[in-house]
Structure 1
Amino acid sequence: MPNNNKELTLSAPLSGPLLTLANVPDAVFASGAMGDGIAIDPLNDTLYAPCDGEVIHVARTGHAVTLRADNGAELLLHLGLDTVELQGDGFSMLVKQGARVSNGQALLRYDLDRVALRCKSLVSLLVITNGERFQARPITLKAVKVGEPLLHIVARAAGETRSDEPQVGIEVSGQIRIVHRGGLHARPAALVRQTAQRFKSRSHLHFGDRSAPCDSVMGMMGLAITEQAEVHVSCRGSDAEAALQALLKTLSTALAEEVHADTPRVQAPNHAAEDGVLQGVCAAPGLVTGPLVRLEGIQLPEDPGGHDVEEQRQRLRQALEQVSRDIGVTLENAKARHHADEQAIFSAHLALLEDPVLLDAAYLSIDQGCAAAHAWSRSIDVQCQVLRQLGSTLLAERANDLRDLRQRVLRVLLGEAWQFDVPVGAIVAAQELTPSDLLQLGAQGVAGVCMAEGGATSHVAILARGKGLPCLVALGEALLEQAPGRTVVLDADNDRLELTPSAERLTQVRQAQAQRAALRTWHQSLAHTPARTVDGVDVEIAANVASSAEAGEAFANGADGVGLLRTEFLFVDRHTAPDESEQRQAYQAVLDAMGDRPVIIRTIDVGGDKQLDYLPLPAEANPVLGLRGIRLAQVRPELLDQQLRALLQTRPLNRCRILLPMVTEVDELLHVRQRLDALGTELGLGERPHLGVMIEVPAAALLAEQLAEHADFLSIGTNDLSQYTLAMDRDHAGLAARVDALHPSLLRLIAQTCAGAARHGRWVGVCGALASDPLATPVLIGLGVRELSVSPPQIGEIKDRVRHLDAAQCRRISTDLLNLPSAAAVRQACHQHWPLG
C-alpha cells in the first residue's frame, strides 16, 4: 500500500522464511549488483504481486516477472535460482507484459516438487532493479505469509539520484543482438552508460530474467550477457524513442579495437615444461633481457573501526574526485595523440568510478564504521569476486580494471607516491598489472612486463601491444617466487620467461635487440628518399592519418603524402556538426603539415560502425550494409555540400585530392563531380581538386574500368573489401582471423581494379591494412598498385621493402598467386618467394 508518491510498503509475494540478499547462494544477487531487496524460501506454489503496478517484463522461460510500482520502483520477482535452465518446464505465467495488476494478484504458478528437484535452489527474490532511485528497508526478517508487510520502499535523498528522472512519459522498447566480442564487458557497458546519460529518459537492459539500469556499468556486467545474445532494451520518458534508438546502435556496434590482426594467440601454459623456464601466454610480442623487478600491490593494515562517518565519507569523495581528474588528464592526452585504445579503456574506468553499485557499497561500509580506504577496497573486492564467478574468462579479466581503480584511489587515500621505483631496462614481474600501472611503467622505460595472472585480451595487453612493450601473462605463481634482481630473458615471441639464461644466450638476445634497433634506425635514415624497385618502378609510400598532428608525424617519418585523411575525427565526440570554417581550417592544417606533398581527404564516412550524436539514423539490422559513406551523403546532401565547399577553399588546391567512400556505381561518382563543379563555380574557382573513388565493395572493383573513366584515381580499402567479399564480419570474434585480404578472391579483385584503371591511365593505391603488411608489398606491386598508404611508423620499413623488390618478377609471381586455393597458401608462397628479413 502506498504511503505517498514516493514511499511504498510491499507485501510478501510468497510464504516462507526470509533471507537477506547477502545470504542468497548466487554471487550476482548476493553482491547487490542487481539492487536492494530480500529473499524468501517459498512454501507455497503461487507468486503474488506485492503491490499495485504494471508488468514491464515477463521472462521468456516463465519463472520471473518485473513490475513497475506506481511510485516508479521497478521490482524483479524471481522464482528460484538458475531456474532459467528449466526452459519454462513446471512454470505457468498468469499475466502478460503490459498488464495492470493489483496488490495480491496471482502472477505465476509453479510445480513446487518438480521445480525443487531440478533447480539449484528454490530461494526466490524480490529485488529493486532501479536501486539508484530507491532503497529497501526490511519490515521483518522472520518468516512471512503471503500478503503480510515485507519491505518499505523509500526514495533516495536528493543528491543521491538524478534530479531529471522522469516520472511520466511514454515507454518504448526494442531488442538487439549483442555484437561486442566476449559480450557486454566493461568498455561496451561504459559506452551504453554514456549513451543512456545523454537522455532524460530512464533506460534498462533486460536479459533472460534479469534487468539492470543502463546507467550502472556493474549492473549491466552483472547480467553476464554473452556475445550474439538477444537483449531487450526499455526506455521511459519524454525522449524515450531517441534514447532507445541510440542505445540500440551502441549495443549493436562493435568496438573498433575488438578485432586486431595482431591479436595474440592464447594457449594453455605449461608451467613445468622446461627447467629454468616459465611458460606463459604472449600478450605483446618481443625479445628482451634485463633484471627482474617485483611489484607489490597496496596492502591495508587491519581497520580498528570507530571512525567519524562524515569525515570518512568526505575523504572518499575527495579521493574519487582526484582520481577522476587524473583519469581525465590521461583521457585528454590519449585524445591528443589519437590513441583510440587508451581512450576506450580509461573512459570505461571513468564510468566505473561513478558506478552507483560500487559507490553505494563503499558508502554503506563507511556508515557501518569502516575507514574510507577499507570501504573502497572491500567494495572493489566484492565486485571482482562477482565477475570471477560469472563463468566468463573475459569478464574475469575485466576485474583487473576494478583493481586498477582500487589502487589509484588507495594511493590518494594513503598518500603513497605514484612513481614506481624501477630502473630503466628492468623486466617487471607482478601478480597482475593494471592499465594505469602499464602506462606509468612504459613512461619509466622498463624493457618488458610479465604477470602471474592476466589474459591476452585484457586492457593491459592492448596497451602493451600499442606501446611495443613485450608482455607475458598467465605465468603462474612460480613467477612471484623468483628472487628479484636476477637477469632474465623475456621471449614473448615464444611464450617463455627464461630464468637462468647462459652468458651465450644473453649475448644472443642483446645482439638481436641491437640488430632490431639498428634496422629501425637504418629504415628511418632512408625514409625521406624515394621508394624505387631495383628495376626502376617508383612506388609512393603515403600515410593514413586522422589529424594535422598525425600528418606532421607522417611528414617527419618520410611520407610521400597522405594517402587517407579520415575526416571523421572532426565529426565525432561532439554534439553539433563542425561548420564550414572549422572544417576548412582543419583540412588546411593537414595540407600545411605535409609541406609540398599531396593529401587525399576522404569525405565523411559515418554510419555502419561509426555513429554521430547529432545525426540520428534509424536502427539497422546490419549497419555495415546500411546507410554509410556516400549513401549517407545521398540522404543528407547538405553535409556533403558543406564538406566540399570547405575542401574547395584549401590552398594550394592542386595538392588536395578528394576520395569518396562506399561507391557502388558510376552515377554516384558523376553526381559528386557535378556538385563539385557547381560549388567551384559558386566560389569563382578555375581549378578543381582530383576526385577519386574508394574501392571497398566488390561492385566497385568489378566496375573499376567504368569508374576510372570518370575518376582521377582509385584507392582500395582492403578492410571493408575483405569482409564484403568473404561475407565475414571483421568484428566477429570467431571469424576475424579468417578475414585475410591476401585471399585469392581479394587479389583477383585488386588485379581487376588495377587493370581497369590502367585502361584509362589512372593510378591505384591501397589504403587498407594490407598496405602496412610487408609480406603483401611485393604482391600489391606485382598486381599494379603504385601507392601504399600505411601507418606513419611503418613508412621507413615499407620503403625499404620496396627497394629490394624487382617489379617485373613481382608481376610474374603475383599472377600465379591468383590461382592458389586460400589465403594461407598465398602467405606461404609469399614467404618462399619474398622472405622477410
Structure 2
Amino acid sequence: MHNNNKELTLSAPLSGPVLTLAKVPDPVFASGTMGDGIAIDPLNDTLHAPCAGVVVHIARTGHALTLRADNGAELLLHLGLDTVELQGQGFSVLVKEGDRVSNSQPLLRYDLDQVAQQCKSLVSLLILTNSQDFQVRPITLKSVKVGEPLLHIIRRQTSGGESAEDFIGEELTGHVRIAHRGGLHARPAALIRQTAQGFKSKSWLHYAGKSATCDSLIGLMGLAIGEQAEVHVSCQGPDAEAALQALLAALSTALAEDSHAAAPAMPAARVRAAEAGVLHGVCAAPGLVSGPLFRLSAISLPQDPGDHDPQQQLQALETALNQVRSDIDHTLNQAKKQRNSDEEAIFSAHLALLEDPALLEAAGQFMASGMAATHAWSQAIESQCEVLRQTGSTLLAERANDLIDLKQRVLRALLGDAWHYEVPAGAIVAAHELTPSDLLQLSQQGVGGLCMAEGGATSHVAILARGKGLPCMVALGSTLLDQPQGQSVVLDADGGRLELTPGPERLAEVHQIQLQQQQRRAEQQAQAHSSALTRDGLHIEVAANVASATEAAEALANGADGVGLLRTEFLFVDRHTAPDEQEQRLAYQAVLDAMGDKSVIIRTIDVGGDKQLDYLPLPVEANPVLGLRGIRLAQVRPELLDQQLRALLQVSPLSRCRILLPMVTEVDELLHIRRRLDALCSELRVKQRPQLGVMIEVPAAALLAEQLAEHADFLSIGTNDLSQYTLAMDRDHAGLAARVDALHPALLRLIAQTCAGAAVHDCWVGVCGALASDPLATALLIGLGVRELSVSPVQVAEIKDRVRHLDASECRRISQDLLTLSSASAVRHACHQHWPLG
C-alpha cells in the first residue's frame, strides 16, 4: 500500500461489484452531499479496514464507522442503505472508538441474509467525508476482493484559511427537536453539513454537554443524537441569523422519504413551548382522526394456587402453542401471497422464537412444580425478557418486544373465551406499547387510530400500521396512560400531536374532514358496481390489477369489471422448483372463479433480467431491463411458456380467459406464440381459442401497433416500462425516478399512436400501468382512445366515478392539444386546469 502525507491507496473493505456513487439508489449519497467515494455491492459478511488508521466514530446502531487515516483523510464506511432502521439488528462491531487498526483488519461483521432481507439495499459505501481536502481517483470499477487496490486519495492544494471576519459578530443560538428518523445518522448529518457550508458563518451543534462544528460530519455523528432529541444550535459570523434559521429548519424537517415518521417542521420557539392539553410524539403512520380514547392493558392473570397436574398443563400449553403456530403460519402465508415482505419478516421471527428450546424448557420446569400453564409460560417469557433487557443491546430489546407479543398470543389461546378486547369501533387505542399481533386484531376491529407511550417510528408495529393505513403515534410518554378512558381526543399523527382536550369546534372540524372523505368514498363505493359511462355515453371498462385469487375476490367486491392484469410471477418466485401444470391450472382457475362472470386477462410469465428465479439460472446482464425479459425468455426456455399455456387452456370457461404477452417488440413474436397456441389447442383437443393480447411496453411495439393489432385481439399498455424505455431513465434510479413521468408528451404520443393503429383493425386498447390509477390522467387516456383502465382494486370506485364526470368528445378535443406541450409538468398543469380533481 503506497502511503505518504499526500497520497494514499485504499484497499477494498468488502468483496463484490464496484459502483460509482451516481449509481447508488439514495439521493444523498449519489449526489456527493456526503463527499466523494465509491460503493460496493457486497458478497461477503465482514467489513475490513481500507488502510491503517484510528477508529474515530462508530454509529450507535453498528451499521457504520469512520476511520481517520494517517494522512488526515476521514473515511466513512457505511454498510447498506437505510440500515440505521435495523437498530443494530444483524450487526456486530469488532473494534472500539479510539482503536488503532491495521490495513484489512476486520472491523464489523454482519448477518448477510438478515440485513439483506430487511434493508433497502446492501450497497455499501466508502466515503471521504473531508473531500474538500482530498481528491479521489478510482483504481477499478470492476468486481474486487477484500484487500485489492480500490482508490487513490491525493491531498488537494490548500488556498489559505478562514478570514478573521468569519467569526466577528454576536453569537446567535436556538433550540430545536431532531425530526430525522433514527436521529442524526450519516445521511441527515451530511445535509446539515451541506446547509452550514452554504454560509460564511461558523456553526456548532451542542448536545448532552458535547459540541461539534457543523462542518464536520464525524463531529456531528459523534454527538450520537437520537430521534426527537432537543439540541442547541449556535452560529457566529456575518450571516449568522440566516445560517441559524436554515439549520433549525434542516434539523426539524425529516428527509423526504422519512417524512411519514417525522415530527413536524416547526420554528424553534414553538418546539420548546409546551401546549396545554397536547401530548407530542413521533408519527409512525400518517393520518388525522378523532374518537374516544381507549386504554389497552396487558392481560392480568388471577392468583395461581400452584397445585396443578403437570401433564395436563403441559398438554394445554402444547395445544395453545400449536394454535398460535397455526395462526402465525396463516398470517405468513397471507403475507407471502400479498408479497408483503415486512409482515413476512416480522412473523417469521415470531415463529422461530416459538420454537426456542430454552423458552419451552423453562416453562416445562415451572409446570413440573405444579404451576398453571398460563403462569408458567408468562414467567418463562418474563425471565428471558429480563435477561435481554439487562444487556443494554437495542437488538436484544427488540427481541424482548417480540417475546412479549408471543406471551400475549399464547395466553389468549390458553384463556380462550375468558379473554378478549372489547374495543369500540373508531376508538383511539392508547397502550404502553402494542405488539404486531395486537395491531392485526385491532385493525380487524375497526379502531380509528393508535398511540403508544413507548415505541419507535421504525418498529414492527409502525411498519404494519403504515401498511394498514391506520394513523399511529409513538413515544408519547407515560402521561398518555394516565388519561381517563372514553374522553374524546384528536390524533393528528401528521403533526405529531395527540390533542387531549379538543373543543367542540376542533372536534367538529376533524369530524367534517373525516366525514367528507368517508362520504365521498361511500358515494363512489355505492356506484362501484355500475358501469362507468361518460356523460356522452361512452363505456369505459374499469378492471383491476391483481396477483392472486384473494386479490381478485377483493377486486370483484370493489366493483371491478374484470381483471385487467393477473401477474403470474406470484406462482414462480420464492421457491426452488417451477410450479407444475396442475398447480398453475388450479391457481388460474381460482382467479377465474373469484371473478364471478367477469373476464380475466392473464399475463404470461415476466421474469428474467432483474427478476431472477433460483431454478432458472440466467446469465448476469449489464443492463437487465434491456435483457432476457418477458416473451424473450420464452425463446430461450420454450418449455416454461408451453407449460403455462397448457395450464391456461384447461381453465373453464375458456371464453373468460384472455392471454397477454409481455415485452413483445415485433409481429413475428406474436405470430410464433399464436401458432404455438393453435398447436397446443389441437394437442389438448380444445376447440375454443382464448383471446390473445400484446403488452405495449417498449416504443417499438407502440410504433408497430397497427401491424400488431392485425393479429392480436387486444392491446394493453404497460406505462411503467414504456416510460422508462421511452425516456431512457431507470424508474428505480433514485436520482431519476421522479422524472420518469408517464404524462410526458413523448409517451402520450406513443399511447395516441397505439390507439390509432389499433382502431384500424377494430382492436381495443387498455392501460394496465400505474398511469391508469392516476385520476388526473383518466380524461387524457380516454381522449387518446383508451377503452379499458386496469387499476389497483381499492381505486376501482374512484376511477369509475371520475369517468362518469367526463365528456368523451371534449376529452378527445383537449387531449390532441396536450400532445403539443413540451413537458410532463406542463401536461399535469393543463390536466388540473381542464379536469380539476375533487
TM-score class normalised by the smaller sequence: 0.5 to 0.7
Q: Structure 1 CA distance, aligned partners of 2:567 and 2:586?
A: 15
Q: CA deviation at 1:504?
A: 2.8
Q: CA deviation at 1:724?
A: 3.9
Q: CA deviation at 1:823?
A: 4.3
Q: Aligned residue for 2:29?
A: none
Q: Aligned residue for 2:153?
A: none
Q: CA deviation at 1:448?
A: 0.9
Q: Structure 2 CA distance, aligned partners of 1:709 and 1:679?
A: 22
Amino acid in the other structure paired with 2:389: D
Counterpart contact for 1:335–1:343, Cα < 8 Å: no
Percent identical among aligned pairs is: 62
Counterpart contact for 1:697–1:720, Cα < 8 Å: yes
Q: Aligned residue for 2:109?
A: 211
User: Which one of 48, 63, 82 corresponds to residue 59 of structure 1?
Assistant: 48
Q: Structure 1 CA distance, aligned partners of 2:582 and 2:723?
A: 36
The one-character-per-residue Cα deviations of 1:339-380 (angstroms, maximum 9, x if unpaired) are 63656424344246648999899999x99xx97434421454
Counterpart contact for 1:353–1:405, Cα < 8 Å: no
Give yes or no for the alignment of 1:376 onto 2:377: no
Q: Aligned residue for 2:669?
A: 668
Counterpart contact for 1:722–1:739, Cα < 8 Å: yes
Counterpart contact for 2:654–2:690, Cα < 8 Å: yes
The one-character-per-residue Cα deviations of 1:35-68 (angstroms, maximum 9, x if unpaired) are xxxxxxxxxxxxxxxxxxxx9989352569xxxx
Q: Structure 1 CA distance, aligned partners of 2:109 and 2:360?
A: 22
Q: Structure 2 CA distance, aligned partners of 1:713 and 1:466?
A: 35
The one-character-per-residue Cα deviations of 1:461-510 (angstroms, maximum 9, x if unpaired) are 44334433233456567656655532112244665433322213323433
Amino acid in the other structure paired with 2:776: L
Q: Aligned residue for 1:464?
A: 465
3-state SS of 2:446 partner: coil
3-state SS of 1:616 partner: coil
Give yes or no for the alignment of 1:385 onto 2:283: no
Counting matched residue pairs gives 621
Q: Structure 2 CA distance, aligned partners of 1:651 and 1:515?
A: 43
Q: Aligned residue for 2:536?
A: 535
Give yes or no for the alignment of 1:564 onto 2:565: yes
Q: Aligned residue for 2:713?
A: 712
Q: CA deviation at 1:786?
A: 1.0
Q: Aligned residue for 2:99?
A: none
3-state SS of 1:210 partner: strand
3-state SS of 1:489 partner: strand
Q: Aligned residue for 1:647?
A: 648
Counterpart contact for 1:331–1:346, Cα < 8 Å: no
Mapping 1:284-295, distance limit 5 Å: 284-295=285-296
Q: CA deviation at 1:526?
A: 2.0
Q: Aligned residue for 1:39?
A: none
Amino acid in the other structure paired with 2:48: A
Query: Structure 2 vs 1, CA of residues 758 and 740 (structure 1 numbering), >3 Å: closer, same or farther?
Result: same
Q: Aligned residue for 2:186?
A: none
Q: CA deviation at 1:441?
A: 1.6
Q: Aligned residue for 2:402?
A: 404
Q: CA deviation at 1:771?
A: 1.8
Amino acid in the other structure paired with 1:381: R
User: Which one of 292, 310, 330 corresponds to residue 328 of structure 2?
Assistant: 330
Q: CA deviation at 1:534?
A: 0.5
CA RMSD of aligned residues (A): 5.1
Amino acid in the other structure paired with 1:446: V
Counterpart contact for 2:773–2:790, Cα < 8 Å: yes
Query: Structure 2 vs 1, CA of residues 611 and 808 (structure 1 numbering), >3 Å: closer, same or farther?
Result: same
Q: CA deviation at 1:585?
A: 3.2
Query: Structure 2 vs 1, CA of residues 621 and 294 (structure 1 numbering), >3 Å: closer, same or farther?
Result: farther
Amino acid in the other structure paired with 1:688: R
Query: Structure 2 vs 1, CA of residues 439 and 323 (structure 1 numbering), >3 Å: closer, same or farther?
Result: farther
Q: Structure 2 CA distance, aligned partners of 1:83 and 1:504?
A: 49
Q: Aligned residue for 1:830?
A: 831
Query: Structure 2 vs 1, CA of residues 591 and 179 (structure 1 numbering), >3 Å: closer, same or farther?
Result: farther
Counterpart contact for 1:183–1:226, Cα < 8 Å: no
Query: Structure 2 vs 1, CA of residues 504 and 564 (structure 1 numbering), >3 Å: closer, same or farther?
Result: same
Question: TM-score, structure 2 length as denominator?
Answer: 0.62
Counterpart contact for 2:577–2:615, Cα < 8 Å: yes
3-state SS of 1:528 partner: coil
Q: CA deviation at 1:601?
A: 0.7
Q: Aligned residue for 2:555?
A: 554
Counterpart contact for 1:362–1:376, Cα < 8 Å: no
Task: Give unpaired runs (5+ residues) of structure 2.
Answer: 1-43, 54-61, 92-103, 127-142, 147-255, 302-309, 366-377
Q: Structure 2 CA distance, aligned partners of 1:594 and 1:85?
A: 57
Amino acid in the other structure paired with 1:807: A
Q: CA deviation at 1:638?
A: 0.2
Q: Aligned residue for 2:219?
A: none
Amino acid in the other structure paired with 1:638: E
Amino acid in the other structure paired with 1:707: L
Q: Structure 1 CA distance, aligned partners of 2:832 and 2:324?
A: 47
Counterpart contact for 1:781–1:807, Cα < 8 Å: yes
Q: CA deviation at 1:787?
A: 0.4
Q: Aligned residue for 2:682?
A: 681
Q: Structure 2 CA distance, aligned partners of 1:637 and 1:607?
A: 14
Query: Structure 2 vs 1, CA of residues 826 and 56 (structure 1 numbering), >3 Å: closer, same or farther?
Result: closer
Counterpart contact for 1:553–1:792, Cα < 8 Å: yes
Q: CA deviation at 1:623?
A: 4.1
Q: Does 177-186 or 283-292 show the bigger shift?
A: 177-186
3-state SS of 1:765 partner: strand
Q: Structure 1 CA distance, aligned partners of 2:120 and 2:799?
A: 44
3-state SS of 1:775 partner: helix
3-state SS of 2:535 partner: coil
Counterpart contact for 2:263–2:495, Cα < 8 Å: no
Q: Aligned residue for 2:578?
A: 577
Q: Aligned residue for 2:805?
A: 804
The one-character-per-residue Cα deviations of 1:293-344 (angstroms, maximum 9, x if unpaired) are 34467999xxxxxxxxxx9xxx999989966863652342453487636564
The one-character-per-residue Cα deviations of 1:708-730 (angstroms, maximum 9, x if unpaired) are 33322211222333444455544
Mapping 1:702-741, distance limit 5 Å: 702-731=703-732, 736=737, 738-741=739-742
Q: CA deviation at 1:210?
A: 3.1
Query: Structure 2 vs 1, CA of residues 667 and 224 (structure 1 numbering), >3 Å: closer, same or farther?
Result: closer
Q: Structure 2 CA distance, aligned partners of 1:684 and 1:178?
A: 57
3-state SS of 1:291 partner: strand
Counterpart contact for 1:434–1:460, Cα < 8 Å: yes
The one-character-per-residue Cα deviations of 1:535-564 (angstroms, maximum 9, x if unpaired) are 121100112222334333333333222111
Query: Structure 2 vs 1, CA of residues 517 and 642 (structure 1 numbering), >3 Å: closer, same or farther?
Result: same
Mapping 1:130-529, distance limit 5 Å: 182=83, 185=86, 209-212=107-110, 214=112, 217=114, 227-229=123-125, 265-269=260-264, 270=266, 272=273, 276-277=277-278, 283-295=284-296, 326=324, 328-333=326-331, 335-336=333-334, 340=338, 342=340, 344-351=342-349, 354=352, 372-378=380-386, 380-381=388-389, 385-387=393-395, 403-409=401-407, 412=410, 419-420=420-421, 422-430=423-431, 432-451=433-452, 459-473=460-474, 479=480, 482-492=483-493, 496-529=497-530
Counterpart contact for 1:222–1:387, Cα < 8 Å: no
Counterpart contact for 1:222–1:386, Cα < 8 Å: no
Query: Structure 2 vs 1, CA of residues 467 and 179 (structure 1 numbering), >3 Å: closer, same or farther?
Result: same
Query: Structure 2 vs 1, CA of residues 538 and 221 (structure 1 numbering), >3 Å: closer, same or farther?
Result: closer
Q: CA deviation at 1:566?
A: 1.7
Q: Aligned residue for 1:785?
A: 786
Q: Structure 2 CA distance, aligned partners of 1:653 and 1:504?
A: 59
Q: CA deviation at 1:531?
A: 0.6
The one-character-per-residue Cα deviations of 1:149-176 (angstroms, maximum 9, x if unpaired) are xxxxxxxxxxxxxxxxxxxxxxxxxxxx
Counterpart contact for 2:765–2:785, Cα < 8 Å: yes
The one-character-per-residue Cα deviations of 1:590-625 (angstroms, maximum 9, x if unpaired) are 333334332111101223454434333344455444
Counterpart contact for 1:264–1:284, Cα < 8 Å: no
Query: Structure 2 vs 1, CA of residues 505 and 299 (structure 1 numbering), >3 Å: closer, same or farther?
Result: same
